[in-house]
A and B are shown apart, each in its own frame.
Chain A
């Protein structure tokens, strides 16, 4: 059974800082991994999708890496801004199925 863990559960940083969010998963037989952002009371916004054959993906100030063999992914946010404050969720497929297993998220607060 796939389990996803995200650490830390919460993170508070001053504006401008570079930061790393961590995600680990127990079953390395995944075909992709997706990072989402969730604002309070809102839906999920897809940030980055990494295929199993890739090691990283970049979008603007965001960079996500994937190490399948060790069951880990990191989301790197450069030069953080107050607008980055949100909960960041990591999700991987359960086995070979299409249902996603989510971590509980990292709640990020960027202070001006």
Chain B
């Protein structure tokens, strides 16, 4: 049981480049959630996805950010034309969809925009 796998662990991008963050949920989990942790701030919800569907993207910035969870493969959080303010830790969590069992988080991707 490999848990929630995120890669890369660290990502450095220059301003204006694209960042792609990947998340493979725990085995048996079909629900994926992305959270962002800005320096000195708490974790903030970004988006909730199931296979091929975005369920709730109320926490996603309206521009430059997108997320997908295809039928095959990992969930991808994509940030286009990154700016310094995008520097943060991005965490992925997964669940079975049953609230009683809680959520399992990955180790995160630390994005640094230079």
- Confirm or deny: B91 has a beta carbon within 8 angstroms of a beta carbon on chain A: yes
Contact for B31 among A36, A42, A49, A98, CB less than 8 A: A98
B97 CB, nearest partner CB in chain A, Å: 8
Q: What residues of A have a CB within 8 angstroms of the CB of B55 in the complex?
A: 98
- Confirm or deny: B18 has a beta carbon within 8 angstroms of a beta carbon on chain A: no
Contact for B56 among A89, A97, A105, CB less than 8 A: A97
Q: Mark A1-41, 1 if CB is under 8 A from B, else 0.
A: 00010000000000000000000000000011010100001
Q: What residues of A have a CB within 8 angstroms of the CB of B31 in the complex?
A: 98
Q: What residues of B have a CB within 8 angstroms of the CB of A71 in the complex?
A: none
CB-based contact A103/B33 at 8 Å: no
B10 CB, nearest partner CB in chain A, Å: 10
- Confirm or deny: A94 has a beta carbon within 8 angstroms of a beta carbon on chain B: yes
A20 CB, nearest partner CB in chain B, Å: 20
CB-based contact B59/A98 at 8 Å: no
- Confirm or deny: B99 has a beta carbon within 8 angstroms of a beta carbon on chain A: yes
- Separation of A91 and B103 alpha carbons in the complex (Å): 10
CB-based contact A98/B102 at 8 Å: no
- Separation of A44 and B35 alpha carbons in the complex (Å): 11
Q: Which residue of A lies closest to B100 (CB)?
A: A51
CB-based contact A43/B91 at 8 Å: yes
Contact for A89 among B43, B93, B101, CB less than 8 A: B43
CB-based contact B110/A99 at 8 Å: no
B interface residues, Cβ below 8 angstroms from A? 6, 31, 33, 35, 41-45, 48, 55-56, 58-59, 91, 93, 95, 97, 99-108, 110
Known pairs A42-B107, A43-B107. 12 more at Cβ < 8 A?
Answer: A32-B102, A41-B110, A89-B42, A91-B43, A94-B45, A98-B97, A99-B33, A99-B59, A100-B43, A100-B93, A102-B43, A103-B42
